[in-house]
Amino acid sequence: MDLMNTYKQFPYKMVKGEGNYLIDENGKKYLDLLSGIAVNPLGYGNKKIEDAIIDQVKNLIHASNYFYTEAPLKLAKLLVDNTCFDKVFFSNSGAEANEGAIKLARKYSEMKYDIDRNVIISFTNSFHGRTLATLTATGQDSFHQHFFPLPKGFKYCPFNDIDALVAMIDDSVCAIIIEPIQGEGGINIANKEFLLGLSKLAKEKDILLIFDEVQTGLGRTGNLFAYQGLGIEPDILTSAKALGGGLPLGAFMAKADVASSLVPGDHGSTFGGNPVACAGGCAVLETVLQEGFLNEMNGVAEYFSAKLMELKGKYPIIKEFRGMGLMLGLELNIEGADFVKVAYEAGLIINCTNVRVLRVLPPLTIKKEEIDILIDFLDGELKRRSD
């Protein structure tokens, strides 16, 4: 293999996707309950996404950000019209979106205060990306190892601990970055009182609140973005993963007074906002925003949660069930890696994160019958391991 050894890859080569299934080179079908790590919101072979991408490819693949093109303008408008934000910057990935958000927060603070007000607070068990700044913002030591020295200006606060946050705020802090539900950290939900307290504190001190919705965004938690179900408005929001309908696309969005801190020359990306990825993104947004789409998804998500709760009641090997919408996790009392391996053999794609948490991030188009296939599998495996 000529690829660098950075992923623990499974020995299956995927060649096709159909509905909510991936198909390998031997024709074996896998029910994909991970959707390319929260990327394929409408499963595989979605006609609207495919047509949008193909049309765009035929017209124009790339023109550079020296020029306007139609797809990014349309996607930015869809995002602005359906969120509390006024301006959008497109990147290629989640890490790059967070990098941009960090730069924006620092520039805003520098213009209004001074250069020593630049610290970003993030939370334990968070995950914000693999570039050096986002790796540093990631509140998990294991990701930092081997890559010192890390950039300065980051502090970590225990998740869901408002007193610790209050104690940590001083004149050096310019922004707080938080995932409303920590994905890689193990499906840890920020509790509502904590988020309300955090938002109030940030407003009082003019500290910018950055919501990292790279994993929670685009309908996964039941609203277009998770903040919309919380009654608070962040100053900056980052998105990626599902945003491009399978193509590499990220974004950071901000309210006008914050966004205006950036001027030509401050930030950029050669491929960011590529018309083909943005055409895919428009197809995703138009679908997710269709009347009834999220309602129907929420009904299926409730069914999924109820089934997982039933398993939790049945098997003490499950320590906790956590989740919202279609972002679900079962924390086990044992390590989860072997479950994932056996699931693959059985034709089911799930994931284990933070050692003991079985994570499920299915396409938003998952059907109840498909959920039942996973539940039957888990029931059998949990029983076998409990006997």
Ligand X SMILES: Cc1ncc(COP(=O)(O)O)c(C=O)c1O
Pairing mode of beta strands 21-24, 327-332: unpaired
Among 44, 85, 127, 154, binds ligand X (CB under 6 A): 127
Q: Closer CB to ligand X, residue 278 or residue 382?
A: 278
As a whole number of angstroms, the distance between CA 154 and CA 168 comes to 12
**Does 40 engage in binding with ligand X (CB under 6 A)?**
no
The residues in 64-103 that bind ligand X, with binding defined as CB under 6 A, are 93-95, 98
36 binds ligand X (CB under 6 A): no
Contact with ligand X (CB under 6 A): which of 215, 221, 287, 354?
215
Taking the least distance from each CB to ligand X, the nearer of 98 and 365 is 98
Shortest Å distance, C-beta 184 to ligand X: 5
Rg of the Cα atoms in the chain: 21
Q: What is the DSSP letter of 228?
A: G
Q: The tokens 């906002």 sit on which residue?
A: 273
Which string of DSSP letters, residue by residue, matches 152-212?
S-EEEE-TT-HHHHHHH--TTEEEEEE-SEETTTTSEEPPHHHHHHHHHHHHHHTPEEEEE
Does 212 interact with ligand X (rule: CB under 6 A)? yes
Of 101-109, 179-187, 316-324, 339-347: span binding ligand X (CB under 6 A) = 179-187
Tell me if 382 contacts ligand X by CB under 6 A: no
> Does residue 359 belong to the site contacting ligand X (CB under 6 A)?
no
Minimum gap (Å) between residue 93 Cβ and ligand X: 4
Contact 277, 247 (CB under 8 A): yes
By the rule CB under 6 A, 184 interacts with ligand X = yes
- Select 277 or 382, whichever has its Cβ closest to ligand X: 277
Q: Name which position in 19, 41, 129, 272 contacts ligand X (CB under 6 A).
A: 129
Helix, strand or coil, per DSSP, at residue 361: coil
Q: Kindly indicate which of the ranges 111-119, 151-159, 177-185, 228-236 contains the residues binding ligand X, using the contact rule CB under 6 A.
A: 177-185
Q: How far is the CB of 179 from ligand X (least distance, A)?
A: 5
Give the nearer residue to ligand X in terms of CB position, either 93 or 274.
93
Residue 329 makes contact with ligand X by CB under 6 A: no
Query: Shortest Cβ contact with ligand X: which residue?
Result: 94
Q: Does 128 bind ligand X (CB under 6 A)?
A: yes
What values do phi and psi take at 342, rounded to 5? -65, -35
Q: CA 34 to CA 379: how far, in whole Å?
A: 19
253 binds ligand X (CB under 6 A): no
Q: Given candidates 178, 208, 214, 332, which one binds ligand X under the rule CB under 6 A?
A: 214
Nearest CA among 195, 6, 3, 215 for reference residue 95? 215
CB 374 within 8 A of CB 360: yes
Q: Compute the least distance from the CB of residue 382 to ligand X, in Å.
A: 27
Beta bridge partners of 348: 31
Under the binding rule (CB under 6 A), the answer on residue 226 touching ligand X is no
> Which residue, 232 or 318, is less far from ligand X as judged by CB?
232
H/E element holding 372?
helix 368-386
User: Of the ranges 18-26, 121-129, 225-233, 267-275, which one interacts with ligand X (CB under 6 A)?
Assistant: 121-129
Residue 284 as a binder of ligand X (CB under 6 A): the answer is no
User: What's the 3-state SS for 120-164?
Assistant: EEEEECCCCCCCHHHHHHCECHHHHCCCCCCCCCEEEECCCCHHH
The region, left, alpha or beta by phi > 0 then psi within -120 to 50, assigned to residue 56 is alpha
Question: Nearest CA to 230 among 257, 206, 255, 199?
Answer: 199
Residue 380 CB, nearest approach to ligand X (Å): 30
> Which one, 53 or 240, has the nearer CB to ligand X?
240
Beta bridge partners of 327: 324
- Give least dist CB 21 to ligand X, A: 23
Q: How far is the CB of 241 from ligand X (least distance, A)?
A: 6
Residues that bind ligand X (CB under 6 A): 93-95, 98, 127-129, 179, 183-184, 212, 214-215, 240
